[in-house]
Amino acid sequence: MSEAPKPVLIGEKPDVCELDRARLALMNPQIIEQKREERTFEETAKPFIELTMREGIETVWDRFEMQQPPCKFCAQGLSCARCAMGPCKIIPPNRIRGVCGADGDLIVARNLLDMIATGAAAHSDHGREIALTLYGLGMGTVSDYVISDPGKLRRLAAEYGIDTGKKDEKEVAAELGRSMLEEFGTLTDSLRLAGRAPAATREVWKNLGIAPRGIDREVVEAMHRVQMGVAADPTNTLVHGLRTSLSDGWGGSMIATEISDVLFGTPKPNESLVNVGVIKPAMVNIALHGHNPLLSEMIVRAAADPAMRALAEKHGATGINLVGLCCTGNELLMRKGIPNAGNHFNQELVITTGALEAMVVDYQCIFPSLPRTASCYHTHVISTSPKSKIPGSTYFAFEPETAYATAKAIVRMAVENFPNRKKDRVFVPVEPVKVMTGFSVEAIQGALGGTWKPLIDLIAAGTIRGAVGIVGCNNPKVKHDFGHVTLSKELIKRDILCVETGCAAIASGKAGLLQPSAASLAGPGLSGVCRSLGIPPVLHMGSCVDNARILHLAAELGNALNVGIHRLPLAGAAPEWYSQKAVSIGAYFVASGVYTVLGVMPKITGSPAVVSLLTEGLKGAVHASFAVEPDPLKAADLIAAHIERKRTELGI
């Protein structure tokens, strides 16, 4: 049996300065009430937000206030610190070029390409770790994982041209894993899964020269281009941004999604619960936060171990309760029905329940300040990725080869922390909300009887006007969850089906939109369809890498109709995005032909040329563009008008 790595404390455990707490806690009660209402749209988050202000526990909203006002040049994308001749800022009329001679348009374009490349790298590196695990499983170096969906393994292998004839599962896993890993540095100048896109969409990519060639190659080239003295033309720079993003959507992210299904099961509709109310005061509570399901799936197994359960009881708990957060939470919710404590801005609030024994994280979207929050309670923050060792956390080096032993050690540490809980600080005054999740492409097709025809017929008849992928994060520039929930409600009312991922999907879950009963909020056409199929009008399609499922769904519809994705009555939206990953997602949606509305302005307003390229110029190249509209009701108008235009063009 493999040995668990030993935990290491990264730096000192922080001790939140009493003065900090006093400073925040001295707030006038009326201001607390006002801020509680301003900060979130989620009713069940409000008691926790109020508590943080009463007790002086710093949150993302406090830090956002402390950062105001932001530098207006940075906010417009007009600052550059890329090399040691800078930093430079463009301040007309005199400071109109950086030291190297780059003007505002170039600086804005380079900064945006940097964001796209960062996001694409994050998703794709996650995908690589999943593919490495499949390969290790096939080669016999990894033994803690199993193939949960052998049918999908063989289907994918066939897609990769692997002859699966007489080969056993492990041989197929090794060959498929190797083929997928080769896509990161392929010499073929093409990505296998991009072949799923309709021919007309691939033709657009070919004509523009943006068909993704290799996953690592596009990211590395992007980083090369942002080196001083390389990129000089803003349009040329951003066209490569589209190519880089396509290598994420149709490459790294799609690999992550597909192989996660092979290893952990392809999601099917299931029921669960969401919001901070999923914390159970009588149990040992462990939150799983981050993105990659490799660790969290193992923790699910370890927590089910009778020895761990017995240990929890020995310490006075009634059992072990796992809850998810952010995209790790989405992966667990989709496949295992593990309850979800919330989205990005719930990560600090869940600690303030006083009943969280451990917050286990891997990477992405994890506030580096979490150990400070946890220091106000007994909660252990446990980091696990060598890429994300968080000062003040306890670090376990997670490797697929020792996955189960590590997971058990982590669960044990959480269970042994239960007696340290201060009972008088336990605070869970809210009830969780029911959700139905698990709408993978396969599950949607299955619900339609195995073919896309019923959905196409419903769209053609106008019963469903079209579909929108609503994705992305929380951002303190938008009231928490307001953008997601308002937009989703408005669209379903107009008979537009919403398919959602990431923190947008969780926001809808907390607002009750992921229940079949939410059909009553939809227009007459969509509500009738939902009632007859017993599904919600907002379909949860998974985590952020699972935006690849939305691309796949769009590709299936395009292929069924033999048209490019840009001709379909589809749109995308990211009402509360914050992350570089969201920029990559938005870029691959648009590059794939999906009109996409952002609720938060990217840092591009310093360059009218870049704004015009993204909102107008791209239409001539990829038949899609971005729009920015902070008001979700106006965003719904834009989306509905776009869908109606596409319907007219299709003659339906």
Can you tell me which of 27, 83, 200, 208 binds ligand SF4, judged by CB under 6 A?
Answer: 83
CB of 54 to ligand SF4, least distance (A): 26
Question: Rounded to the nearest 10 degrees, what angle do helices 215-226 and 104-139 cross at?
Answer: 150
Binding to ligand SF4 (CB under 6 A) within 597-636 occurs at none
Q: Do 418 and 284 meet the contact criterion of CB atoms below 8 Å apart?
A: yes
CB of 632 to ligand SF4, least distance (A): 16
CB of 33 to ligand SF4, least distance (A): 27
Q: N- to C-terminal Cα distance for the chain?
A: 61
CA angle (158, 247, 646) in 5-degree steps? 90
Give yes or no for residue 327 binding ligand SF4 (CB under 6 A): yes
Give yes or no for residue 80 binding ligand SF4 (CB under 6 A): yes
Read off the amino acid at residue 645: R
Instruction: Name the DSSP class of 521.
Output: G
Give yes or no for residue 85 binding ligand SF4 (CB under 6 A): yes
Query: Minimal CA–CA distance to 496: which of 358, 619, 607, 639?
Result: 639
Q: 509 to each of 320, 399, 523, how far by Cα in Å? A: 23, 32, 19
Look-up of token digits 């089910």: 304
Please identify, using beta-carbon distances, which residue of 102 and 137 lies nearer to ligand SF4: 102
> How many amino acids of this chain bind ligand SF4 (CB under 6 A)?
27
Q: Do 526 and 458 meet the contact criterion of CB atoms below 8 Å apart?
A: no
Give yes or no for residue 503 binding ligand SF4 (CB under 6 A): yes
Read off the amino acid at residue 582: A
Give yes or no for residue 252 binding ligand SF4 (CB under 6 A): no
Read off the amino acid at residue 113: L
Query: Minimal CA–CA distance to 586: which of 54, 119, 14?
Result: 119
CB of 481 to ligand SF4, least distance (A): 12
Give yes or no for residue 102 binding ligand SF4 (CB under 6 A): yes
Give yes or no for residue 579 binding ligand SF4 (CB under 6 A): yes
Give yes or no for residue 89 binding ligand SF4 (CB under 6 A): no
CB of 17 to ligand SF4, least distance (A): 28
Give the integer Cα–Cα distance in Å for 173 and 157. 8
Instruction: With contacts defined by CB under 6 A, name the span among 21-29, 78-86, 153-161, 249-257 that binds ligand SF4.
Output: 78-86
Give yes or no for residue 126 binding ligand SF4 (CB under 6 A): no
Q: 305 to each of 302, 333, 539, how far by Cα in Å? A: 5, 20, 33
Instruction: With contacts defined by CB under 6 A, name the span among 14-22, 67-75, 354-362, 574-582 that binds ligand SF4.
Output: 574-582
Please identify, using beta-carbon distances, which residue of 133 and 292 lies nearer to ligand SF4: 292
Can you tell me which of 326, 554, 600, 624 binds ligand SF4, judged by CB under 6 A?
Answer: 326
Give yes or no for residue 81 binding ligand SF4 (CB under 6 A): yes
Q: What are phi and psi of 235, to 5 degrees?
A: -65, -50
Q: Which residues contact 268 (CB under 8 A, 6 or more apart)?
A: 438, 440, 443, 446
Give yes or no for residue 289 binding ligand SF4 (CB under 6 A): no
Instruction: With contacts defined by CB under 6 A, name the span among 84-92, 169-177, 205-213, 548-556 that binds ligand SF4.
Output: 84-92
Instruction: With contacts defined by CB under 6 A, name the span among 190-198, 416-424, 442-450, 576-584 that binds ligand SF4.
Output: 576-584
- DSSP string spanning 13-65? PP---HHHHHHHHT--HHHHHHHHHHHBS-GGGHHHHHHHHHHT---HHHHHH
The DSSP bridge partners found for residue 342 are 325
CB of 506 to ligand SF4, least distance (A): 8
Binding to ligand SF4 (CB under 6 A) within 462-491 occurs at 472-473
Give yes or no for residue 82 binding ligand SF4 (CB under 6 A): yes
Question: Rounded to the nearest 10 degrees, what angle do helices 326-336 and 502-510 cross at?
Answer: 70
Can you tell me which of 36, 344, 378, 646 binds ligand SF4, judged by CB under 6 A?
Answer: 344
**Tokens standing for residue 127:** 């995908």
CB of 640 to ligand SF4, least distance (A): 24
Give yes or no for residue 365 binding ligand SF4 (CB under 6 A): yes
Instruction: Name the DSSP class of 278.
Output: G
Give the integer Cα–Cα distance in Å for 45 and 345. 9
Please identify, using beta-carbon distances, which residue of 340 and 417 lies nearer to ligand SF4: 340
Can you tell me which of 277, 483, 502, 564 binds ligand SF4, judged by CB under 6 A?
Answer: 502
Please identify, using beta-carbon distances, which residue of 157 and 287 lies nearer to ligand SF4: 287
How are strands ordered across the β-sheet holding 358-361?
A: 8-9, 394-395, 380-383, 358-361, 284-290, 320-325, 340-342, 270-274, 433-437
Can you tell me which of 7, 98, 466, 469 binds ligand SF4, judged by CB under 6 A?
Answer: 98
Please identify, using beta-carbon distances, which residue of 211 and 326 lies nearer to ligand SF4: 326
**How many Cβ atoms are within 10 Å of 524's Cβ, its own excluded?**
9
Please identify, using beta-carbon distances, which residue of 83 and 609 lies nearer to ligand SF4: 83
Q: Which residues contact 90 (CB under 8 A, 6 or more apart)?
A: 73, 78, 79, 96, 97, 98, 103, 104, 107, 606
Binding to ligand SF4 (CB under 6 A) within 524-563 occurs at 544
Instruction: With contacts defined by CB under 6 A, name the span among 43-51, 94-102, 260-268, 617-625 that binds ligand SF4.
Output: 94-102
Provide the binding-site residues for ligand SF4, judged by CB under 6 A: 80-83, 85-88, 98-100, 102, 107, 228, 326-327, 343-344, 365, 472-473, 502-503, 544, 579, 581-582
